[in-house]
Structure 1
């Protein structure tokens, strides 16, 4: 383990010499704007809570090593709340002028934050590669702690000086946080540092630690670019609005071509059809279609914020977890063609958000949006489920298993779109606005215009072992259990108007908390 610690010390020293810190130390840059780099950190900081909750932490720690790792995650998962606290103290809501839609664009579609979306999956992949070995998990966790200490050792003195001048305590950027970022996994001394690693584990630990440092070097490149291109110039990033895709009729899919379902695939298909039928009967859909005083617009507005993480995050699940990085075989290329089409849907959803008037209906500022998406007890359910899907995708590189995971994910949405389509069409007739995502016109975003590119490959005729069939069935249940729970939450949120859609005065902040139903 000493070789891992030596590597961490050496690479931490190199990170401390990054050009970003030269900008932070530059006396020509006013102290009062240096912490305004927070927006470029938002993806990483807010997702870091989830990494600790659902990836790094061991479920039911079995030994002292796992207990130490878990104790460190208990501390680290609290930091995102401090970040939002400082965001507000820095008056970034006012400086950025962002509404909820701008924050969604920044988090999920902006070019500047694209590297961070990839890094989130790189983090997750490490906890799959280490196979739950606490000594290997320590190797990359220790590297991450060293990186955090390098950052806060440089930034904390600036926050402390700013506090002296303004009497405002910045707990995330200041010494409060630095005291909790000592550069090592908490309470690890004497537990991990004395461990002997065999050559194979040592090599794997070094690879994981180096990969963690590579991520942080990349992030600091992004920090530096944002500091110089935006903060230093006194400008805020602005959402790029692309025109709506040209409207065209739904492509003719031709005569139905039932794919041959052979061997054990038939067993998985039966489970899929059974779960799909059960989900289609969920009472949430009855609420959506019920007659009554609520307009179609209000029915959509009341629940759609709950699905932001699923819909916007689905792009990244496809791009960074499901897609094959270097497809070699025909089945891998066909699968990639499918997921590449699915990546395009999130921009349609953001257009729908605008058409539904969600910014005015919610009245959220940028910090309210961050708080809802990443810290609300209701959205915890959605993000936890995304973590489950991510683990399944990263853990199984077999094309046929990734196919069944994606097949289940897509099938779980069929009833959703069948029900939102009717409401969306009614809103379009009433308002003249287009709702391409909720009206299920996803093909408009596909480069080739097809409804389901890549679905023609006969995945269900590929060999499927008994163990793979077992895994595929478990995947189907995981997906539909998740969706059923999310629909129950949506019913509670929508029926009770827990987001305050009918009570919010447009333009005023609303921070309605959503609590998962018992």
Structure 2
């Protein structure tokens, strides 16, 4: 498993170089504009809890890896509540007709957010614990890149508006910083020491590549959305 974790770390470093993260770090742009993509991410964020509850979690189980996964899912299945709070603080929580909301959530603009969900469901439905573990590790890796960047933007917004974010904040980053493989000495070493048959190992490498591909498409769409949806209420200091 150690080789697979190394591949994930290498892919994470590539992922961190995507244009969205340069955009989010550009302090010449209004900080709220740098998170203007948040509505576009809604299908993924809102579906993430169900990924944990209905696809990753499997109870009861005697499998030691699945037991670790189950514990992890209870830590990750409610983050969408923080996202909803932040939409209000970012002032993108606007009233619209129910039909308009549905039209947006199933629009071309959010298609890769939905596609990301479908792929994660696909790769975890009836998956082995090892396959689920890989999905979690990749999701945690991409999440760490996103939230370590977004938390800094959240701080800037708080300084200007006095409104504190929870999803786009250190509060969220604190629970996203570690992969399961790095969550504790014992657990991390247990995961790293897992021996994979050669065929399973090669399948794991392919799965990592596929997962990073769909996360990259999703992330690229977020930047497109932020660049085409300007914030209507510019923030001003003082």
TM-score above 0.5: yes
Is 1:222 matched up with 2:221?
Answer: yes
Residue 205 (str. 1) matches residue 204 (str. 2): yes
| Deviation digits for residues 89-118 of structure 1 (CA, Å, limit 9, x no counterpart) | 222123xx423222111112x111122222
Q: Which residue of 2 aligns with 1:103?
A: 101
Where does residue 77 of structure 2 map in the other structure?
77
Partner of 1:139: 134
- Residue matched to 1:34: 34
**Correspondence list, 1:359-370, <5 A:** none
Q: Is the 8 A contact 2:151 2:173 kept in 1?
A: yes
Q: Is the Cα–Cα contact under 8 Å of residues 65 and 130 in structure 2 kept in the other structure?
A: yes
Deviation of 1:165 after TM superposition, in Å, equals 2.9
1:65 deviates by 1.1
Question: What TM-score comes out, normalization by structure 2 length?
Answer: 0.90
The answer for unaligned runs of 5 or more in structure 2 is 234-238
Structure 1 counterpart of 2:173, from 171, 178, 182: 178
* Structure with greater contact order relative to length (CA < 8 Å, sep ≥ 6): 2
The ranges of structure 1 where at least 4 consecutive aligned residues each deviate by more than 4 angstroms after the TM superposition are none
- Contact 1:148/1:181 (<8 A) preserved: yes
Counterparts of 1:386-465 in structure 2, within 5 Å, are none
**Which residue does the alignment assign to 2:157?**
162
Query: SS of the residue aligned with 2:229?
Result: helix
1:117 maps to 114
The structure whose Rg is larger is 1
Query: C-alpha deviations, 1:130-188, integer Å up to 9, x for none?
Result: x4421222122101110100111111111122223322110001000000101402554
Specify the SS of the correspondent of 2:59: coil
TM-score (norm 1): 0.43
Q: Given that residues 124 and 135 in structure 2 are in contact (C-alpha distance below 8 angstroms), is that contact kept between their aligned partners in structure 1?
A: no
The answer to whether the 8 A contact 1:136-1:204 is kept is no
Could you tell me which runs of 5 or more consecutive residues in structure 1 were left unpaired when the two chains were aligned.
236-518
**Matched positions, count:** 229
**How does 1:200-279 map onto structure 2 within 5 Å?**
200-231=199-230, 234=232
Give the structure with the larger helix fraction: 2
SS in 2 for 1:189: helix
In 1, the alpha carbon distance for the partners of 2:67 and 2:213 equals: 27
Paired residue secondary structure (1:157): helix
Give 1:193 shift.
Answer: 1.2
